[in-house]
Amino acid sequence: MNKREHRFGELLEAHHVRKTSHRLSVLNALSSREGATSQPDLEATMSPEINRVTLYRILKTFEEKGIIHKVIDLNGTANYALCSPDCTEHGHHDQHVHFSCSVCNRLYCLDTVRIPSFRLPNDFEAADTYLVVSGTCARCSKK
């Protein structure tokens, strides 16, 4: 077991989730991508080793336990990314800008770009803010 796998093993233990080979594969796949990975993408990558239904369940469990978070992109497709260490099962901290490239379809988590603050009308109480920018990413704009 290499270092990365070991790290993921500990991650699962820390969240009280059983350490199975499928779950480790999913964590590996997610961590090897830049930004978030779409459900269809992930499905294609893991297939046929991991059953489609099992993947749904793994992602659901991970999300509930605060191991990954889900970002819905502008097409309504679910994308997943590993959480930062301060996510818990009680709440995700995902207050950064997402960038959805319309050329390559990558979804980036721009951790360095914070969502600027703004005022809501009276009596509107914000719990979470999601900001998605669509356009052309650095990789694609250089081609």
Partner DNA sequence: TTAAGTGCAAAATCTTTGCAAATGT
Partner DNA sequence: ACATTTGCAAAGATTTTGCACTTAA
Site residues for a copy of itself per CB under 8 A: 72-78, 97, 99, 102, 108, 110, 112-138, 141-142
Q: Choose, by CB under 7 A, the member of 76, 86, 121, 124 that binds DNA.
A: 76
| 1 burial via Cβ count (<10 Å: 0-12, 13-18, 19+) | exposed
Q: Choose, by CB under 7 A, the member of 40, 85, 91, 135 that binds DNA.
A: 40
| 83 burial via Cβ count (<10 Å: 0-12, 13-18, 19+) | buried
Asked whether position 15 contacts DNA by CB under 7 A, the answer is no
Q: Choose from DNA, a copy of itself, none: what does 143 bind? Cβ within 5-8 Å by kind.
A: none
Q: Choose from a copy of itself, DNA, none: what does 105 bind? Cβ within 5-8 Å by kind.
A: none
Which value, to the nearest 10 degrees, does the dihedral of the CA atoms of residues 34, 17, 43, 75 take? -60
